[in-house]
Amino acid sequence: MPSPFASMDPYLENPLLWCDVHHSLTSQIRRQLAPLLPSRYVARLEIRFVASTPDEQTVGILSPDVNVTLAQIRERAIAEYKPLAGVPVAAQPKPLFLHAVPSQEQIKLATVEIRDTAQRRLVTSIEILSPVNKRANGGLVEYRTKRNVVLLAGAHLLEIDLLRQGTRPPRLTDMPDSDYFVFLTRAERSNLTETWPISVRAPLPVVPVPLLPGDDDVPLDLAHALRTIYDEARYDLEIDYSQPPIPPLSEEDAAWARALLNPEA
């Protein structure tokens, strides 16, 4: 069943789904662009790993019943404990309570890279942002370093941000308030960024993918790409549209979503 949203489906932002959405969408963008590219280019997937410490909100979403499970184990242990008869019980020392340092996890991220076939030179990098790219205690600094390397190398950078939460990596003046964004920084004018603000209620746009001088831009249909992976992955079988999305929508957008999902209510 197709998504009930003609725009970006906000339920796909859920951390339980986003990793699969990210990799599926990256692969679909490569499949969509590959036949449109002139023969002097190839589209490749570049994989990298980013270290990140999950915040409390992420841990609560991914493991909502950890504390409940630990409490049940403690209660069961107390209930089943039986001291040995006739054996003196030594005084139990009080334990120290120390804070554990959160462990870092390795996040796997994929990028679409368009390269020329003659020299394998990077022409255009297409990034779909993930929460780790937008998290101050995660990979925000690492990602900003990477985007600077891409731009200093004389390549184009297309950034697709379909996440409402987190810090937008591009440092731009007069950035409007919007749910989602697409940013395009062309190699020949890296001081300007073409920006597409996208409301949660608006369809995803067709955006240009620039190539080397003398070759026309190639169109990337984001709405078609998202519809395709939604149907292929059958996300409708996992999403409970009777519950609010994670992260939640604004009050006005939540009312709009409820009317869309329950037109007869």
- How many of the other CB atoms lie within 10 Å of CB of 193? 18
What is the tens place of the pLDDT at every residue in 163-189? 999 999 999 999 999 999 999 999 999
pLDDT band at 66 (very low <50, low <70, confident <90, very high): very low
Any domain includes 190: yes
pLDDT band at 94 (very low <50, low <70, confident <90, very high): confident
pLDDT at 59 over 50: no
Any domain includes 161: yes
pLDDT at 79 over 60: no
C-alpha dihedral over 252, 257, 260, 262, to 10 degrees? -110
Any domain includes 99: no
pLDDT at 78 over 60: no
pTM: 0.81
Question: And the tokens for 120?
Answer: 């394998």
Q: What angle do CA 192, 118, 108 make, to 5 degrees?
A: 60
Any domain includes 148: yes
Instruction: With CA atoms as reference, report the closest residue to 209 among 218, 196, 198.
Output: 218
Any domain includes 170: yes
CA gap 93, 162 in Å, rounded: 53
CA gap 115, 257 in Å, rounded: 40
Determine whether 4 is exposed, middle or buried from the number of CB atoms within 10 Å of its CB (0-12, 13-18, 19+).
Answer: middle
pLDDT of residue 185: 97
Residue range of the domain that includes 257: 10-63+104-261
CA gap 170, 193 in Å, rounded: 9
Any domain includes 88: no
Q: In the chain, how many domains are there?
A: 1
Length of the chain measured in residues: 265
Any domain includes 83: no
Any domain includes 232: yes
Between the alpha carbon of residue 94 and those of residues 70, 75, 79, 84, 97, the distances in Å are: 20, 19, 21, 22, 9
CA gap 169, 115 in Å, rounded: 24
